[in-house]
Structures are given as C-alpha cells and as structure tokens.
Structure 1
C-alpha cells in the first residue's frame, strides 16, 4: 500500500512507527497504544492509508485502514433515511399482498379464491 505505517516493538524499549523503506522511524513512544494512535494520526494527515500493528513477537497482529484510504472491506453504512424508505417499501408490499391490514396489523393471507369472493 502506498501510504502505510508499521507499529513495531523497539529493541531499545518502547514502540516505533516506521514507514516501509524509510531509513529511520517516524516516531517512538513508550506504549503500543500511544504508537497506534500516533500512527493513525500520521496516516490520516498524509491522505489515508493503512496502519499495520505488530505484536511483541514482531508478527502482524492487526491492520487498520484509515480514511480516506481505500478499505477493501468497508463496513456497510445505511443512512437513517435509506432504512426508513426500505421499511416503508416492505410495509406497502406486505399490504398489497394481504399480509398487513390498513392499520398495520398482521393478518392471515387470503387465498386467491377468498380474495375474489369465490370462497368463504
């Protein structure tokens, strides 16, 4: 990824934030939490990208895409309006099919014959 930072344990103690192919660390902190927060800030200020978090053993523990980066699996987001429209559309479809009364109460669907007055 073009803009990324790695949060790694520092051999001298603490944690360091490195950009791939850089000669020196972008920052050093005492705690991993502070290093993660600083790495997110750096990536965000640089136009978005990915923060790769390594554990104490040096293995990758987690990855975090920072906006406006390109998350390959973004969380689904529906606006309140979209949810309301979907619910209204579903309700009207149920009403047309005879599953809802005009008052919005659920009712048993009528058969085709009952709907046309051909059966009791």
Structure 2
C-alpha cells in the first residue's frame, strides 16, 4: 500500500471521509459517499497513488490504482 494512498471511510461523526494512508486526521468529510469517492479519486489521480473504498464495516470493497498513469 502506497503511503500516499487515499481511503474513503465512514466518519464516526457522520458522513464519509477522505483520509490519507497513515494519517490520523481526515482530509475532508462529505455528506455522502459518492462525493467522498469523487474527491478521493481526484486526489489519487493527482498523486499517482491508489484509492481504497471501504464499507460501513471498514472492509475494503473496491480498490483503484492510478500508479501506472505515472509511467505514461
């Protein structure tokens, strides 16, 4: 897992958060999961990293990698 990876996680206070791998703080909290995924994907593409989308239970449901884009 890349240290710049972005994770979409359920926020304990409500909504969905974008969080960088290894960080104790979230980047931003969104009201719905779709908005959080859109922002997380944009960050992952920009940083040429990976995006992990978690379910309510915390398990990874989906993973997208944008690392290969760095080689183009």
Find runs of 4+ consecutive structure 1 residues off by over 2 angstroms: none
TM-score by structure 1 length?
0.52
Q: Which secondary structure state, in structure 2, belongs to the residue aligned with residue 39 of structure 1? A: helix
Q: How many residues align?
A: 68
Correspondence 1:1-120 to 2 at 5 A: 1-46=2-47, 48-66=48-66, 69-70=67-68
The Cα of 1:55 is off from its aligned counterpart by 0.5
Higher Cα radius of gyration: 1
TM-score by structure 2 length?
0.83
Aligned to 1:84: none
The Cα of 1:3 is off from its aligned counterpart by 2.4
Higher normalized strand content (fraction of residues): 2
